Amino acid sequence: MIIASTLRIKACLLTKKLTYDVRWLGLSIGTITATVKTKETINGKSVVVLEATAKSKSIVSVIHKVNSRFVTYMDVQGLYPLRLEVYRNDSDRQKAAVLEFDQVHHKVHEKNFSGGQERVVDVPARVQDIMSLCYYFRLAPLGIGDKKDYAVFHNDSSRHFCCGLPPKP
């Protein structure tokens, strides 16, 4: 396991924006944008704000509209999420929710504004969400052939992901 204190968030990994063209059968059907914003403070802790948006092109939106945004607040010291905001707006699924990660007691507190439900889920220690995992993985000192296991909270449950760099052929 990688110990958080051995990793540092470098200035070059802040304020980055990547935009991806989503294609289906060779046609551009939408975009996904991932942004790393500057440091902020949430609940008295310094965080990096990670944001991802997904949008379908207008011609595709007639069949299946996508206009979603996900925002993660990642603790700079612990390198794990403290909060995830979900604003999913797809043709067949809408969700507005806030997930608060209690990394001390290993719980995720979810408040779903779309349906008005609240719940608490047990999670493993140092659990990540998908966006914080991607950012954390970029900081990890991995070499060719190295692999690391991560606990990830995604789609209402905890899962284990194994990430790594493939060995040279």
What is the per-residue burial (b if ≥16 Cβ within 10 Å, else e) of 87-113?
Answer: bbeeeeeeeebebbbebeebebebeee
H or E element: which one contains 167? none
**Do the domain assignments include residue 155?**
no
Domain containing 122 equals: 4-142
Overall number of domains in the chain = 1
**Do the domain assignments include residue 167?**
no
**Do the domain assignments include residue 157?**
no
| 56-106: pLDDT as tens digits | 998 888 888 999 999 999 998 888 999 999 998 888 778 889 999 999 999
Position 157: which residue type? S
**In the predicted model, is pLDDT for residue 2 greater than 50?**
no
**Do the domain assignments include residue 151?**
no
The DSSP bridge pattern shows strands 67-75 and 45-56 to be antiparallel
**Do the domain assignments include residue 67?**
yes
**Do the domain assignments include residue 84?**
yes
pTM of the model: 0.82
Widest distance between CA atoms in the chain = 52
